[in-house]
Amino acid sequence: MFHKEGFKIIIAAFFITTLMSLGAEYLIDLVYIKKGIQVLALVLLVVVLQFFRNPKRATPKNDKHIIAPVDGKVVVIEEVFEKEYFKDNRLQVSIFMSPINVHVTRYAIGGKVIFSKYHPGKFLVAWHPKSSEENERTTVVLENKYVGQILYRQIAGALARRIVNYAKVGMEVTQGEDAGFIKFGSRVDLFFPVGTKIKLELNQVVKGGVDCIAEM
């Protein structure tokens, strides 16, 4: 199953793969060059297909649990000052997505969208300290009566050139549902109240829509 945000790119990739393969077959006489081009075309198609895959996930819904919004590796767990929305100290958890991870963003809790904003910006590598403040990004705040308010931020990386965010202010959302996509990128930051019980460790690999990362 593939994400709807990738349909146009997948169709284009199929067209380019076919064109390259047929062109090599009929225009190139040297077998090793012909086969090399055809293998390269197939590899590029496979890379595009795996990037836009959208596996179904059975989310164990729990109003007091915060689940991982994306697949990836936990690269930050620290107390920071969140200056865009809360303007106070928060516990930050950051998940880095490599090019081979699923890049679907899912709602970490069920509840109401109370803030959603897009920021144009740079395309620094996702692990750069300034990427969460200077890169292209979206900021979304969700609220329910059990967890209160949490903020998540989709951040583009060096390869990412488009962030898709479905969260609109006033929407009622369901935990684990599709919240957006980061095309060819790269990191999601989450901000919780200080004292939130974190249920993961630095460098841990998490699965979006499935793994509980914090509990109120």
- Element housing 58 (H / E): none
Q: Catalytic: 186?
A: yes
CA dist., res. 46 & res. 31, Å (int): 22
Catalytic residue among 21, 94, 131, 186: 186
The helix (H) or strand (E) run that includes residue 2 is: none
- Farthest-apart Cα atoms in the chain, separation: 68
Cα distance between residue 8 and residue 155, in whole Å? 22
Residue (of 156, 13, 9) closest to 97 by Cα position: 156
Sign of the alpha-carbon dihedral angle for 152, 153, 154, 157? negative
Tokens 């077998």 map to which residue? 31
> Helix count (H) and strand count (E) of the chain?
3, 14
- The catalytic residue positions are 186
